[in-house]
Amino acid sequence: MVITLETTASDAVVEAVFRLAARYEGVTPKKHVFQGVGERLVEVHLVGSTRQVPTEPFEALDGVLSVVRVSTRYRVIGRHGTDDGTRGFDYNGVRFGRDQVHLFAGLCAVDTRPHVDETLAVLASHGLQTTRMGAYKPRTSPYEFQGLGSECLPWVFELAGKHGIRVVAMEVTDARHIDEIKTALERAGRPTGVMLQIGTRNTQNFELLKHVGRQSEFPVLFKRGMGITIEESLNACEYVASEGNPNIVFCLRGVKSNLGDPHRNLVDFAHVPVILRQTRLVVCVDPSHSVGRKDATPDGVPDIFHVTGQGIIAGATMVLVDFHPYPEVALCDGPQALTLDQLPKLLGYVRTVREAYEKAVTIVNAS
């Protein structure tokens, strides 16, 4: 059962809900806070044997906005009742929601300071404040480049600050990495922010999910599992939210199957509407790890652009995409990295498709 409080409700209302919940055996109340622009939404979730718990006494409490019975699935990330699913969140001055598109363009794996500097300078020149920079790389082979790890964090954060980048998406593969990122950010004077990325190989690493869920300093970019169903991925994502961190972006990145050949993965962006419908989450697409190559159609448009468009036209509002100033020397995923001269083209492409999406929604909803 989800009890949503009025935005003006004080802590006394939360206490009253907890007191009332204590009257019912086998029911545990848990408070969840969703922070938006100038608005803080508080919910109390009753977990356990709630079937016998009536909704009316909770509805009668002053300061309670609504009480909704929910199935045990996706209790926090799911949409329930009349929830319009557009909550989103703010982080470090950037609004993540379903109304604004953010391009997280950057290096798959950080390699050298000059490459990071050059990339971020170009992003900044196009007004971007978001990037991707992998420091901890989960690789298929132990003999491949594993990422520079914590040693690169001081200068990555310093350069991000220098170029006005507000959010860096960075994968963590171990709970230790969260502390390393936190420490490096503090030492650097917090020049930027970080969105913790859970990679597809760790989608069901439940202990790691609990760790990123227990902290609320950083939002989480959660990749779907490449070999599991959407339902399994959403249940895994719920681990993050149920631990207390609701600031999550759900990212589609293709699934493993030879049926996707010659692409690296079978592109699954047809699931964008499914995630938008079933959850409150912001939805991201990763065209780089889906397609894995830079070929273009005879009209000159690269496959990576085409699938980005497929995600945006379906309502995705975030794109995670690999760029490298010199893909031929990239230490990870060079074959799928776009070059910096392609950035304004991708930006123009994304803007055009987003406008088409907005027009299309108007057409479909016209009476």
Three-point CA angle 171, 177, 183, nearest 5°: 120
- Residue 325 DSSP one-character state: S
Alpha carbon distance 47, 50 (integer Å): 7
Alpha carbon distance 112, 148 (integer Å): 9
Q: Which of 87, 213, 333, 349 binds Mn ion (CB under 5 A)?
A: 333
Is 200 a residue that touches ligand PEP (CB under 6 A)?
Answer: yes
- Residue 337 DSSP one-character state: P
Sheet holding 27-36, edge to edge: 27-36, 39-48, 2-5, 64-68
200 binds, among ligand PEP, Mn ion, none (CB under 5 to 8 A by kind): ligand PEP
- Residue 6 DSSP one-character state: P
Cβ-based neighbour number of residue 323 at 10 Å: 25
171 binds, among ligand PEP, Mn ion, none (CB under 5 to 8 A by kind): ligand PEP
Alpha carbon distance 262, 291 (integer Å): 8
Total residues contacting ligand PEP by CB under 6 A comes to: 10
Is 253 a residue that touches ligand PEP (CB under 6 A)?
Answer: yes
| Of residues 73, 53, 60, 54, the one with CA closest to residue 13 | 60
Closest CB to ligand PEP among 200 and 308? 200
- Within residues 258-297, the interface with ligand PEP by CB under 6 A covers 286, 289
Binding mask 208-237 for ligand PEP (x = CB under 6 A): ---------------x--------------
Is 331 a residue that touches ligand PEP (CB under 6 A)?
Answer: no
Is 106 a residue that touches ligand PEP (CB under 6 A)?
Answer: no
129 binds, among ligand PEP, Mn ion, none (CB under 5 to 8 A by kind): none
Is 171 a residue that touches ligand PEP (CB under 6 A)?
Answer: yes
Q: Which residue ranges make up the site for Mn ion (CB under 5 A)?
A: 108, 333
Q: Which residue ranges make up the site for ligand PEP (CB under 6 A)?
A: 108, 134, 171, 199-201, 223, 253, 286, 289
